[in-house]
Each structure stands twice: as structure tokens, then as C-alpha cells.
A = this chain, B = another copy of it.
């Protein structure tokens, strides 16, 4: 067994309900592998490597490892650190640390920014001749990664959002005579997969949601107000779901916040308040009382009603990454390809560089002619992803989640 090397796993970007499911998959597959010795977790992703902060899973209790399957947040801590190719000191530090801990395998669970980081690590390793197998594991509630059928994390978020829309929609419908309009805002910077998937809630045309505002469709105030007015006349009230990154016809976010800390480390504007923007727009123009809901990170962390299908796929993606690395692959992200004959989603591998920093938008052909709702294509796509509920252990009336580092 001479020469067996260790693996390092990190979580990056914002957590999803099932991001720890992928971590669980990695840990399990490493334990079962013949090729890999021990596995360490990097605390706060690539930041943990630079700061030499690791979690040794072999020292954690087994029930905690099992608990990863139903624990929200990123157990290892997420990060929004942008790795700078040209920052020689950091790059040297990175590989010195890899070398000191005998790291031969690097698994990075994250979204498109994180796949960029993984890709850089892969290229740098190749450049200096350091033997490292780098595999990315997709993670995002936004569902905006390219070259994969969908992303782990999206199904659970879509299930929670659609459930919330059905519930808040029934609440709103029962109050049409006094509070007839509600706007619910989902996360998702430039893509509308979540507002689109909220349509899963609707069983007939009277039910919520009635109108969808996707980042893919430039916001046209006059048309929007006509749509709201028409729905109000037809149904008696209106339930609107809007993505946080709604843009005007000039490509500017309708609600960019111009405060002092308005951009994250990747330079993205920190959005918020597209629901409030629409509320104000409706109240000002139509003089109808409008509520708004901003679920924000509750969407990424709602493990109490997560999709069992999503969790299973997240675990599988983690395992597939380890299997690929053990076969000598590097520079790839695990992808979902398509359903097999038994209806199980199959995994594949795609080049990290083809995924990094790219965004997959909702196809405009999946929207109706008015571009204010989705068609059956999106429903058929999203429905399988929200099936089943993760069972969480309860204590004292609340979910009993595990936490590491305590």
C-alpha cells in the first residue's frame, strides 16, 4: 500500500440543503476506495487550504458523518474566495500545503465560480507537475451550471419554494377582499429556474403562482401592470413570483443597491428587493395593496422539507467524483446526463473549463408566448427533482441537526 495518498474535500460558494449530502458521498466513497488513504476537509473551501485549517473526518463520530445527509449549511464552511492565478505567494502556499499533507486528490463542491477555482487548481498542478486529481461536484440552488441536466441543490430548493408558493398562495386567496396581491422573491442571480419551478405549485389556472418574472425576460413595466390588472380581474387577486435578478430592457438590475458594500468578492452586485420593487410598482400604479416575501437563505437551507431525490443525487455526485479520481481523471466536473430506462439519473464527466463561469439560462422556448409563465416542458423537467421528503430526526419539536467543530 506504499504510495497511497490523501484526499482533500472543500465546499465553496453558498450552501444548499444537500451540499453536505455530496460531502457524505465523497467521504463514503473514499472509505470504500483502495486508492485513497485518509480524507481531510478544508474549512471554508480554498481559504482553509491557504490557512491550513482542516477537519480530520477519521476523528469525527460516525453519527455525525451520517448526520451530513440531513444537515443544512456547509458542514465545512463555504467561501466566496476568488483564487488569483497571479498571486504567487498564495499559489506556492497552496501546493506546499498539498504536499505537506500528501494530498493527491482534491474534490471541490460548488457552483460556477467554484468550478473556476477547481479548474485553476487543476491547471496549476499540471503546470508545476504536481500529481493531483481534481474533480468538481456540482452544487447550486440556481441550477445555472452548464453541461449538466440539472444541479444537486436545485430540487430541494424548488420543492421548498413551490410548497411556500402553494401555502402563501392559499393564504392570499383567502384574503383577496382585503390583501389581494403577493409577490414572492426567489434567489437566483441571472437565471430564473426557481421562479419557473414555483409553477409546480399550480393545479389549475386560479391558483398561485399566476405570473412569473424571470431574469431571462427584460422587465417591461407597462406590460407587467397590464398582466397584473388582467389577472386581478380574472381571479380576484394575483400571486407573482420574481427572481432576485430582474433586469430592465437595458440590461440593468431593476433594484441594484448602491450602498457601500454592494458587491461580493466576485464583483457580482448583491441583489435584494426585486419583490419590494414590484410591490412599490403595483401600489403606486394600480393602488392595490401588495405584500412581498423574501425567503432569502431559507431557500438554501430548508432541510426540513428537502427533496429525497435531490439528496440521493447529491450523495451520488460525491461518490462519482471519487470514482472518477480513482480512475485517474482530473479537470472534470461530475454532471448529470439523463434518465436511464429505469428512470434513474445517470452521471458523466464534463471539462471544468467548459463549466467555469458559464451560466445556463431557462430556454425562452420553455416560456409561454407572453413570456410571463412557463410551459409544460419546464414542469416535466422539474417535477421528478422534487419527489420524496428527507426524514430529519426531531428533538424538542425541532429538527435535530448535527454540527461539526463542537
The chain A residues found within 8 Å of chain B, CB to CB, are 11, 14-15, 44, 47, 71-81, 159, 162-164, 166-168, 170-179, 182, 200-201, 204, 206, 259-261, 264-265, 270, 272-273, 276, 280, 283-284, 287-289, 291-298, 300-305, 307, 383, 386-389, 394, 396-399, 401, 403, 406
Which residue of the partner chain, among B172, B265, B273, B388, contacts A178 with CB atoms under 8 Å? B265
A selection of 27 A-B contacts at a CB cut-off of 8 Å is A47-B177, A71-B170, A73-B171, A74-B174, A74-B175, A78-B178, A79-B177, A80-B178, A163-B399, A168-B296, A170-B403, A171-B297, A172-B297, A178-B264, A182-B296, A182-B297, A200-B398, A204-B406, A206-B406, A260-B284, A273-B276, A293-B294, A294-B294, A295-B295, A305-B305, A307-B397, A389-B394
A192 to chain B, nearest CB (A): 20
Which residue in chain B gives the minimum CB-CB distance to A200?
B398
Task: Give chain B residues whose Cβ lies under 8 Å from the Cβ of A397.
Answer: 159, 162, 200, 307, 383, 386-388
Alpha-carbon distance between A298 and B169 when the two chains are bound, in angstroms: 9
A186 to chain B, nearest CB (A): 12
Which residue in chain B gives the minimum CB-CB distance to A80?
B178
Q: When the two chains form their complex, are residues A174 and B287 in contact, meaning their CB atoms are under 8 A apart? A: no
Task: Give chain B residues whose Cβ lies under 8 Å from the Cβ of A79.
Answer: 175, 177-178
The secondary-structure label for the interface of chain A is loop
How many identical chains are in the complex? Answer: 2
Q: When the two chains form their complex, are residues B260 and A287 in contact, meaning their CB atoms are under 8 A apart? A: yes
Task: Give chain B residues whose Cβ lies under 8 Å from the Cβ of A289.
Answer: 261, 264, 270
Q: When the two chains form their complex, are residues A292 and B304 in contact, meaning their CB atoms are under 8 A apart? A: no
Q: When the two chains form their complex, are residues A383 and B396 in contact, meaning their CB atoms are under 8 A apart? A: yes
Task: Give chain B residues whose Cβ lies under 8 Å from the Cβ of A291.
Answer: 272, 296-297
Q: When the two chains form their complex, are residues A164 and B398 in contact, meaning their CB atoms are under 8 A apart? A: no
Task: Give chain B residues whose Cβ lies under 8 Å from the Cβ of A270.
Answer: 289
Task: Say whether, besides A78-B175, A178-B265, A397-B386, A304 and B301 are in contact (CB < 8 Å).
Answer: no
Which residue of the partner chain, among B179, B301, B307, contacts A170 with CB atoms under 8 Å? B301
Q: When the two chains form their complex, are residues B174 and A78 in contact, meaning their CB atoms are under 8 A apart? A: yes
Q: When the two chains form their complex, are residues B398 and A75 in contact, meaning their CB atoms are under 8 A apart? A: no
Q: When the two chains form their complex, are residues B297 and A295 in contact, meaning their CB atoms are under 8 A apart? A: no
Alpha-carbon distance between A264 and B290 when the two chains are bound, in angstroms: 12
A58 to chain B, nearest CB (A): 21
Q: When the two chains form their complex, are residues A283 and B298 in contact, meaning their CB atoms are under 8 A apart? A: no
Task: Give chain B residues whose Cβ lies under 8 Å from the Cβ of A75.
Answer: 174
Which residue in chain B gives the minimum CB-CB distance to A401?
B170
Q: When the two chains form their complex, are residues A399 and B166 in contact, meaning their CB atoms are under 8 A apart? A: yes
Q: When the two chains form their complex, are residues B272 and A259 in contact, meaning their CB atoms are under 8 A apart? A: no
Task: Give chain B residues whose Cβ lies under 8 Å from the Cβ of A295.
Answer: 293, 295, 298
Q: When the two chains form their complex, are residues B74 and A163 in contact, meaning their CB atoms are under 8 A apart? A: no
Which residue in chain B gives the minimum CB-CB distance to A155?
B397
Alpha-carbon distance between A229 and B293 when the two chains are bound, in angstroms: 28
Task: Give chain B residues whose Cβ lies under 8 Å from the Cβ of A71.
Answer: 170
Given A47-B177, A304-B305, 18 more contacts at CB 8 Å?
A14-B171, A73-B173, A78-B178, A159-B398, A166-B399, A167-B302, A168-B298, A168-B301, A182-B297, A206-B406, A259-B280, A260-B283, A261-B283, A261-B288, A272-B291, A293-B296, A293-B297, A386-B397
Which residue in chain B gives the minimum CB-CB distance to A395?
B203
Task: Give chain B residues whose Cβ lies under 8 Å from the Cβ of A176.
Answer: 77
A174 to chain B, nearest CB (A): 4
Q: When the two chains form their complex, are residues B303 and A292 in contact, meaning their CB atoms are under 8 A apart? A: no
Which residue of the partner chain, among B76, B80, B287, contacts A261 with CB atoms under 8 Å? B287
Task: Give chain B residues whose Cβ lies under 8 Å from the Cβ of A387.
Answer: 396-397
Q: When the two chains form their complex, are residues B167 and A301 in contact, meaning their CB atoms are under 8 A apart? A: yes
